[in-house]
């Protein structure tokens, strides 16, 4: 756990947003006199900002005295009770929550200080030493919970477990997970994701809204699929080859389009696996060529580009000459997360592809490819569109269907 003392403004402006972003818990020691204007110090949070943090389950607020005396042990009994009792009472009055923890200024305390803190109704005290750092599990008692001084941070990084690696090894693809919807904000970009289930593709005879295109299937969720050919605006012709289990028909890509698609991700789906291979126009424009990559393939299509590969967002250079990749648009995507679950989703804000790949990687996506975006960007869940705008009809979709009807949440 991280702790932050002394009620600086940057605790709210910078620290708190990062804690929310990474889901990391922290304790803030609040000096009530600073917030009340009784003492002057460096930039200070406001009561409103402390209230916002206190309302977050990630955050714990501790009393840190009224005026921050350098050593509570040196105070008279009367002054000591004032610093402890009044700071706790002011926090509870302003925040409307019980304050159970006390952070000793400079870490100094003794038996008399503990007696007063306990008498005030608190259940634990937090200390610190610049000289000797102790893991909290080796603390003398709950009245002296140890922590390490920030000056020892670099040293402690080698000793403290900081959670799983940033780019963990991916689990095998698993279509047995329940399907659920998730809305998250990363870097001020709102994402709507649907994770879980078994992936299928749907290649319709003509264009429909995304919610309609799934109506006669078992798909609980679906996102608009791959790109259509600009030469055939009134048909269901795609830029590259497509194979869908809903029709059982392999449709080759147009010979005029596929040469420029070399190297783009060819997505291959079977009943129990997913694979991404660079598209080869000479090999992959026939069913036999696709089956050479995955003999039991049930669905195949060529996506616009990799957004995330091996758990990392892709660089600008990786998009080469893909038209419009650096423009900001609503974007649609499909992929596999670190748990092996298929994920379909859209961005509800305008975003360019490199930034989207970065935030998808932060959201735990292991592999992701870009689908038809801009005006086509659309996502449906349980028969209803989730996008904030009216998307144009499409004729290709990627759906998520449960292994059984009991698996949707």
- What are the pLDDT digits (tens) for 272-282? 899 999 999 99
Which whole number is the average pLDDT over 162-183? 74
Which whole number is the average pLDDT over 1-15? 92
**DSSP letters for 89-148:** HHHHHHH-S---EEE-GGG---HHHHHHHHHTT--EEE--BSS----GGG-SSGGGB--B
Q: Are the beta carbons of 54 and 18 closer than 8 angstroms?
A: no
Q: What per-residue confidence (pLDDT) applies to 82?
A: 97
Residues 6 or more apart whose CB falls under 8 angstroms from that of 263 comprise: 278, 279, 320
Given a cut of 90, whether residue 12 has pLDDT beyond it is: yes
- Look at domain 2-157 and name its CATH class: alpha beta
Given a cut of 70, whether residue 298 has pLDDT beyond it is: yes
Specify the DSSP class assigned to residue 316. G
Supply 345's token pair.
Answer: 């989703």
Given a cut of 50, whether residue 406 has pLDDT beyond it is: no
Q: What per-residue confidence (pLDDT) applies to 409?
A: 41
Specify the DSSP class assigned to residue 12. I
Supply 60's token pair.
Answer: 């714990």
Which whole number is the average pLDDT over 43-68? 95
- Determine which of 257-266, 289-298, 300-309, 381-390 has the lowest per-residue pLDDT on average: 381-390
Residues of the chain with pLDDT > 90, as a percent, come to: 46
Residues 6 or more apart whose CB falls under 8 angstroms from that of 21 comprise: 186, 362
Q: What per-residue confidence (pLDDT) applies to 321?
A: 63
**DSSP letters for 245-277:** TTTTEEEPPPTTTGGGGTTSEEEEE-SS-EEEE
Task: Identify the band that residue 407 occupies on the pLDDT scale cut at 50, 70 and 90.
Answer: very low
Which whole number is the average pLDDT over 180-201? 87
Given a cut of 70, whether residue 74 has pLDDT beyond it is: yes
Given a cut of 50, whether residue 164 has pLDDT beyond it is: no
Stronger pLDDT, 85 or 404, i.e. the higher one: 85
- What are the pLDDT digits (tens) for 99-146? 999 999 999 999 999 999 999 999 999 998 877 777 787 788 999 999
Q: What are the b/e assignments for 33-67, b being 16+ CB within 10 Å?
A: bbbeeeeeeeebbeeebbeebbeeeebbbbbbbbb
Given a cut of 90, whether residue 330 has pLDDT beyond it is: no
Given a cut of 90, whether residue 394 has pLDDT beyond it is: no
Stronger pLDDT, 254 or 45, i.e. the higher one: 45
Locus of tokens 């403290």: 160
Task: Locate the domains of the chain by residue range.
Answer: 2-157, 180-407
**340 CB-contact burial (10 Å; exposed 0-12 / middle 13-18 / buried 19+):** middle
Q: Are the beta carbons of 306 and 331 closer than 8 angstroms?
A: no
What is the chain's mean pLDDT, rounded? 86
What is the rounded CA–CA span in Å between residue 274 and residue 263?
A: 18
- Picking from 148, 73, 5, the residue whose alpha carbon sits closest to that of residue 84 is 73
- Determine which of 53-67, 247-261, 320-334 has the lowest per-residue pLDDT on average: 320-334
Q: Are the beta carbons of 54 and 95 closer than 8 angstroms?
A: yes
pTM: 0.58
Q: What per-residue confidence (pLDDT) applies to 372?
A: 83
Supply 284's token pair.
Answer: 């992959």
Polymer length in residues for the chain: 409
**DSSP letters for 337-396:** ETTS-EEEEEESS-B-HHHHHHHHHHTTEEEEEE-S-GGG--EEETTEE-SSS-PPPEEE
């Amino acid at each position: 756990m991280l702790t932050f003392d002394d009620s600086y403004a940057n605790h709210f402006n910078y620290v708190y947003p990062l804690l929310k972003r990474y889901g990391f818990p922290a304790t803030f020691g609040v000096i009530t006199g600073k917030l009340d204007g009784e003492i002057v110090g460096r930039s200070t949070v406001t009561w409103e900002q402390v209230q916002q943090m206190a309302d977050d389950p990630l955050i714990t607020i501790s009393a840190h005295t009224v005026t921050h005396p350098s050593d509570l042990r040196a105070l008279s009994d009367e002054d000591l009770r004032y610093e402890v009792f009044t700071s706790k009472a002011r926090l509870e009055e302003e925040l409307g929550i019980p304050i159970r923890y006390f952070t000793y200024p400079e870490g100094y305390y003794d038996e008399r200080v503990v007696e007063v803190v306990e008498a005030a109704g608190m259940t634990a005290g937090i200390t610190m030493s610049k000289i000797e750092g102790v893991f909290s599990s080796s603390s003398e008692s709950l009245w002296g919970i140890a922590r390490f001084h920030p000056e020892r941070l670099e040293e402690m990084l080698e000793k403290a477990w900081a959670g799983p690696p940033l780019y963990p090894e991916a689990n095998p693809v698993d279509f047995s997970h329940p399907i659920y919807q998730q809305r998250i904000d990363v870097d001020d970009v709102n994402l709507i994701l649907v994770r879980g289930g078994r992936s299928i593709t749907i290649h319709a005879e003509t264009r429909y809204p995304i919610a309609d295109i799934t109506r006669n299937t078992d798909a609980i969720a679906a996102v608009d699929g791959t790109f259509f050919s600009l030469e055939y605006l009134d048909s269901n012709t795609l830029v590259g080859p497509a194979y869908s289990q809903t029709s059982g028909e392999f449709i080759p890509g147009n010979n005029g389009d596929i040469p420029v698609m070399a190297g783009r991700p060819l997505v291959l789906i079977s009943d129990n696996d997913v694979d991404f291979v660079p598209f080869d126009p000479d090999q992959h424009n026939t069913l036999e060529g696709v089956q050479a990559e995955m003999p039991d393939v049930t669905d195949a299509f060529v996506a616009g580009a990799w957004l995330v590969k091996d758990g990392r967002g892709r660089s600008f250079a990786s998009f080469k000459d893909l038209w419009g990749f650096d423009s900001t648009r609503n974007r649609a995507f499909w992929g596999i997360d670190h748990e092996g679950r298929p994920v379909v989703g859209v961005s509800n804000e305008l975003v360019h592809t490199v930034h989207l790949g970065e935030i998808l990687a932060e959201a735990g996506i292991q592999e992701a490819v870009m689908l038809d975006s801009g005006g086509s960007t659309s996502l449906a869940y349980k028969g209803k569109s989730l996008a904030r705008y009216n998307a144009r009809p499409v004729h290709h979709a990627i759906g998520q269907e449960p292994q059984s009807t009991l698996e949707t949440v």
